[in-house]
Amino acid sequence: MEASGPSKTLIQQIVWNSIHLICLPVALHKSVQNMLEFNEVNGELGEILLKKFTNQFRIGYVKSRGYVLPEYYRKFGQRVEELEVRDDDLWVVSFPKTGTTWTQEMAWVINQDFDFEGAKVPLPERFPFLDHTPLFDYTDILPNLPELQLPLFVSDSVTYINEMKSPRYIKTHLPWELLPKQIREGTKKPKIIYVARNAKDTCVSYYHHCKILEGYSGSFDNYCKLFLGGSLCFAPFWPHVLNFWKRRDEPNILFLKYEDLKKDLPAVIRKTAAFLGKDLNEEQVDLLAEHLSFARMKSNPAVNYEAAIEINRRFNLTTADGHFMRSGQVGNYKEVMGPELIAEFDRWTQENLAKSELTF
């Protein structure tokens, strides 16, 4: 006859509880690590942002993991952190105005086997911008503008992407540190194409973009202070670029440069196709190169964002005139930057790239 005492089930429960209690601090630690914290943007640059870069849809700015974002990002950051990533996703990641749209269209056409009919669908619909909604807070605007109807990829870009069928195409300007944790931890490995551009041209292009689409009302000099000081949305610039550059040899990451797209577009098309596992013939390469020419892109309503600019004009959300695709040239900064400013950017670039092999 067996001696009396706790049953095996009870003993197993006690052991399980003990293990659970031991593991709990570890689990809590990981959970805390994945929780986003936000800080204010202070000092002279914070003042410039508040005075010259707030408006009806942008009430302020915060920092998270060292990067500047709109105040509205507080409501979306954790949802992005917890986003369910799929291995067959294709992501295009970049700092703003570095060739993002160009790269998106190239990658989509290649991966969709040259479906030019499908490419007539607006790019934001078929290749949505994950962080679109946090950039534009329409909460107080929509009640007064009932005629302003926003599609889901604008009103809630995170939900839109969550509900997409595979394969998904996702654009983001978020830095590595703010990508979904499944990407950072390597539990999911979607293909990621990162595109970078030299800092001076990026700054000039981003300045014009922020005037016509995001409501910046300050001077170019103050904008350069914000750029150099890492106080624009998605900044600081160099950590954003370098954290992908150092991962360029990972099999699911392709690092491209805007300057290479301008110099030899067919070569970049072939490189991208190889990364995506597609074998293109010369006729296809030539066809896509023509489709991606600056003139064709600028006149293509599916990719030129003129509809978004028209909405801003119609509802007086921003006041500056201009086009989303402006010049597309390398070295355009020389038309607006003086010698002293160019020298300052060059010193800043050299300091940040000194320990890397990256050049522009």
Q: List per-block mean pLDDT (blocks of 10 residues) for the chain, which spans 360 residues.
A: 48 50 47 79 97 95 98 97 98 97 97 96 96 94 88 96 98 98 98 98 96 94 98 98 98 98 97 98 97 87 68 64 63 94 98 96
Alpha-carbon separation of residue 175 from 92, 100, 188, 194, 337 (angstroms)? 12, 14, 17, 10, 27
Residue of 191, 193, 195, 234 lying closest to 85 (CA atoms)? 191
Structure token digits, residue 21? 């209690």
Residues 6+ away with beta carbon under 8 Å from 193: 90, 91, 92, 93, 103, 107, 253, 254, 256, 272, 275
Dihedral over Cα of 227, 54, 133, 33: its sign:
positive
Structure token digits, residue 285? 């390469």
Q: Is 173 a catalytic residue?
A: yes
Pairing of strands 61-64, 39-40: antiparallel
Cβ proximity of 270 and 286 under 8 Å: no
Write b or e for each residue in 36-61: b if 16 or more Cβ atoms lie within 10 A of its Cβ, otherwise e: beeeebeeebbebbeebbbbbbbeeb
d(CA 104, CA 304): 12
Q: Quote the crossing angle between the two packed helices 339-353 and 220-228, to the nearest 10°.
A: 10
d(CA 141, CA 122): 24
Q: What is the pLDDT of residue 316?
A: 64
d(CA 222, CA 168): 38
Residues 6+ away with beta carbon under 8 Å from 164: 128
Structure token digits, residue 98? 């570095």
d(CA 201, CA 211): 16
Q: Which CATH class is domain 38-353?
A: alpha beta
Q: Of 132, 173, 208, 240, which one is the catalytic site residue?
A: 173
Q: What is the pLDDT of residue 302?
A: 82
Cβ proximity of 98 and 202 under 8 Å: yes
d(CA 116, CA 100): 19
Dihedral over Cα of 173, 263, 120, 117: its sign:
negative
Alpha-carbon separation of residue 15 from 1, 4, 5, 10, 172 (angstroms)? 25, 19, 15, 9, 45
Does the model's pTM come out above 0.95?
no
Return the domain boundaries, the chain: 38-353
Pairing of strands 169-172, 67-70: unpaired
Write b or e for each residue in 238-247: b if 16 or more Cβ atoms lie within 10 A of its Cβ, otherwise e: bbbbbebbee
3-state SS track over 73-110: HHHCHHHHHCCCCCCCCEEEEECCCCCHHHHHHHHHHH
Structure token digits, residue 97? 């105005």
Name residue 30's beta-bridge partners.
none
Residue 170, SS3 per DSSP = strand
Residue of 261, 276, 218, 270 lying closest to 45 (CA atoms)? 218
Q: Quote the crossing angle between the two packed helices 237-245 and 339-353, to the nearest 10°.
A: 40
